[in-house]
Amino acid sequence: MTSVETDRLDDLSMNETPYPPLPSLRRVVEEGAARLHRYPDRLAGALTAGLARELGVDPGSILVGPGSAGLCQHLVQALGPRPEVVHAALSFEGYPLIVRNAGATAVPVPMDGHGHDLPAMAAAVTARTRCVLVCNPNNPTGAALRRAELVDFLDRVPADVPVVVDEAYRHFVTDPDVPDAMDLYRAYPNVCVLRTFSKAYGLAALRIGYAVVPPALAMAVRVVGMVFFPGSLGQAAALRALEPDVTGELERRCAAVVAARDRLADGLREAGVAVPPSQANFLWLPLGERAGAFAGAARAAGILVAALDGRGVRVTVGSDEANDRFLAFARDHLG
């Protein structure tokens, strides 16, 4: 395969699901179009109640907002006035912008290989720390933190410093030793959990997610959120997504993505690429200085990937056809 211009474009850069919305969720959105002249429930009461039942928590601890990234912005803004936010140095690309938007200063902590260096992050926490951001599984590397190391980390962080565990990719985790952050939320008074309907549920365009936070923090976060957001269609689709029939289909789809992820990783390793283990719906190619040139050649061949110049390339698991196409390209350019 050669790097030539092509009319076809496979976008493997955005961590989206390769599947269209489930028919039941699409119907909810189509039916909701008849009520576009009405404002949404500004409190997202029905969805909040549904999530509270699903998670077994008080409704007052749940925040509904514009995806996990939007809610992360709300949290960092509301948790002031301490000026610093600690996060891993190679994690979600939005964290530095979120921190700057909140008028705070980022304290990036270098990674331990492809994952968080939790002892170093704990050591970076000071009296100036507003909160700590932990992406698990980590974007863009796909690495996941295990229960024992997270518990040890939380034991070392002062109880008055919130630890925000971003679980945008939780549905793709298969390692039983990667904890559900809700268990940590119940065990520690400073844990906040972020989740989204954008990834596994395929509702990215509706921009809806939720956070579970200590009740004492919830009101402070609510006052920084936008009024009448998320919209009615997002609320209705997310509420329908909690029903058992949708949950069952979601599990099957996630299992298919995981199987495709593992096949793609095996193929890349056979081609000589040192792909680290991933617990997300994407893979990390640690190409270093070759990252930019590789991404440019992929684009010329009609394949979009996310490049972090000088570090590596993140590739989202796509359809079987798109995955095969990318694998053939990678073998040609990296083998």
Q: What is the pLDDT of residue 4?
A: 45
Higher pLDDT, 7 or 126: 126
Neighbouring residues of 299: CB distance < 8 A, sequence distance ≥ 6: none
| Residue 334 confidence (pLDDT) above 70 | yes
- Condensed to tens digits (0 to 9), the pLDDT of residues 104-124 reads 999 999 999 999 999 999 999
- Condensed to tens digits (0 to 9), the pLDDT of residues 199-250 reads 999 999 999 999 999 998 998 998 887 776 799 999 999 999 999 999 999 9
Neighbouring residues of 133: CB distance < 8 A, sequence distance ≥ 6: 72, 76, 85, 86, 87, 88, 91, 92, 95, 164, 166
Contact present, 50 and 204 (Cβ < 8 Å)? no
Question: Please, which pLDDT band fits residue 7 given cuts at 50, 70 and 90?
Answer: low
- Condensed to tens digits (0 to 9), the pLDDT of residues 296-324 reads 999 999 999 999 989 999 999 999 999 99
Neighbouring residues of 318: CB distance < 8 A, sequence distance ≥ 6: 10, 11, 12, 18, 326
Average pLDDT over the chain, rounded to an integer: 95
Question: Please, which pLDDT band fits residue 3 given cuts at 50, 70 and 90?
Answer: very low
Neighbouring residues of 22: CB distance < 8 A, sequence distance ≥ 6: 202, 241, 246, 249, 250
Neighbouring residues of 320: CB distance < 8 A, sequence distance ≥ 6: 260
Question: Please, which pLDDT band fits residue 96 given cuts at 50, 70 and 90?
Answer: very high
Q: What is the pLDDT of residue 227?
A: 72
